[in-house]
Amino acid sequence: MAEEKLQFHEMGLDERLLQAIADLGWAQPTLIQEKAIPLALEGKDLLARARTGSGKTAAYAVPIIEHILNAKKSVNEQIVRALVLVPTKELGQQVQQMIRELTSCCARDIRVADVSGQADVSAQKPLLMEKPDIVVGTPSRIQTHLQLNNLDLRSSLAMLVIDEADLLFSFGFESDLKQLLGFLSLRRYLPKIYQSFLMSATFNEDVEALKELVLHNPVILKLKESQLPDSSQLTQYQIKCEEDEKFLLIYALFKLSLVRGKTILFVNSIDRCYRLKLFLEQFSIRSCVLNSELPVLSRCHVISQFNQGFYDYIIATDEEMLLEAGASEEKKKKPNKKNHSKGQKAKDKEYGVSRGIDFQNVSNVINFDFPTTVDSYIHRVGRTARADCQGTALTFVSHTELPLLQEVENALTGENLDCALKPYKFHMEEINGLSYRCQDAMRSVTKHAIKEARLKEIKQELLNSQKLKTYFEDNPRDFQLLRHDKPLHPAIVKPHMKNVPEYLIPPTLRRISSTLIHRRRHMRGMASGRNNKGTHKLLTNQNPLKNFKYTGKKIQGRKPQGKKTH
């Protein structure tokens, strides 16, 4: 007989918290929430592994909120009771948003502050002076505030969470974390006794090291589930194609409407982001770029608007390539002050897209460039098919990347045979007629154009995130209108490339693509104005070929020509 699943209302939670959970539409807890929340409510330390998108954030946020609500019944003092450490600024904002949603029915009783996102430490000091109940931040930023005495946790902290624990050391937070825990400093920042949670998608040596540093007699939750959903929820495809064919294929997939819904395209470098964006611009396909060069406020705004449905396509790099690039730069870097400053300014080490961030309702993930590791593949593909939603992952594979493909398939099929990457049945010869258009577009996407596009977008986003920041705080509706998918246009865009002539569409795809193309044209016509019908009638009446009527003797609208009669 199957064991009955524990429900939220059976966990002894506060009524206000249960109401917020109901408002979020959570019918029942996920596996990690069902197992972790009761143990956390008992006061136990936890080391939990669960796949991305499985609800790990709520698994620790719910016990924290319940603990604070109970504590405030007897003590009215406003103190910092919980600290959540995250590896990236984007994840920090997401955690803050989740906690605010869960405290929507008790917002006056619980305050939360995210100090990971803003660049200016002094601007965050007033937030911490109010002693929020929950503080969210990266280890380096929290350590900075502790050293400046903006934050005091020694007598008040009751709960510590380390989210995405397997990323903290790889992001260079090892020394900050050890200082925070009192292993590299004579100064003590944390109390002797507090409850700790380590949440991670994978268990590795770094997580084991953290377990020894942070946890005391922990309960270890290794949930029996694959790292990716099964084939009933997530469909994974792979298609073998070389560099030139990648661009031809992505053009055909988008322009012939073979890919529908919100899509994230992953590439392996920032240059590749802009190369792909400029290529798509040649065909009037709009997309956003998301990478470590952009200001954090712009990145968070892109993610927020993508979740709200403002954009369909995001081109992103992931942190795996960012870290490798940073390591290679360190090796190549000479002991020169100029080089040092330039290298430090180039990338944001606290940037992360493929890990932890909750992109909502993503229909497709496309690996335009093959991920360098199995973990990277899992975390990229984990952006889709989250919770109970359906999703599709398509990976482009060149002949040099076949060994990497084999590694990924071995890792996935070892856990679940349903997770294998199926061949994407697409005949490249059918779209050969489109290849000359792609070649024409690629001539405009030069190295100079890519460099110019990078500089132009950084300048635009710096303006958006800094100079207009105070204006947008006073005018939040205008902030919603700020878009990040505007064409950069460092190269000439030819108008005729916008549409695909019907004779170039493969016969097998004409029925699908023509229906969708006509539908889009109709929708654009409806959106262009209310008086379209009247305008069309007016133009028809003015056209002599449309209103010509032969009566036999006279031409309507003109006098007959002939001899004058007296």
**516: pLDDT strictly greater than 60:** no
- Of 250, 259, 263, residue with least CA distance to 316: 263
Class of the 234-325+356-445+491-524 domain? Answer: alpha beta
pLDDT of residue 424: 92
* 3-state secondary structure (DSSP) of residue 336: coil
Q: Which residue has the higher pLDDT, 120 or 552?
A: 120
Q: How many other C-beta atoms are found inside a 10 Å radius of the C-beta of residue 283? A: 18
Q: Which residues of 423-455 are buried (b: 16+ CB within 10 A; e: fewer)?
A: ebeeeeeebeebbebbeebbebbeeebbebbbe
Phi, psi of 366 (to 5 degrees): -115, 120
Q: DSSP string spanning 256-298?
A: TT-S-S-EEEEESSHHHHHHHHHHHHTTT---EEE-TTS-HHH
pLDDT category of residue 403 using cuts at 50, 70 and 90: very high
Q: Give the global pTM.
A: 0.70
Q: Where are the beta strands (DSSP E) in 117-240?
A: 134-137, 159-162, 195-200, 219-222, 234-240
Lowest average pLDDT, out of 130-139, 216-225, 313-322, goes to: 313-322
Q: How many residues does the chain have?
A: 566
Phi, psi of 186 (to 5 degrees): -75, -20
pLDDT (tens digit per residue) in 2-36? 467 889 999 999 999 999 999 999 989 999 999 99
Same CATH topology for 8-222 and 234-325+356-445+491-524: the answer is yes
Report percent pLDDT > 90 for the chain.
43
pLDDT category of residue 232 using cuts at 50, 70 and 90: confident
The residue ranges of every structural domain in the chain are 8-222, 234-325+356-445+491-524
Specify the CATH number for 8-222; select among 3.40.50.300, 3.40.50.720, 3.40.1350.10, 2.40.30.170. 3.40.50.300
Output the CA torsion sign for 339, 340, 345, 350: positive
Half-sphere exposure of 324 (CA within 13 A, CB side): 12
pLDDT (tens digit per residue) in 323-361? 444 444 444 444 444 444 333 344 555 555 555 566 888
Q: Position of tokens 């020509």?
A: 561
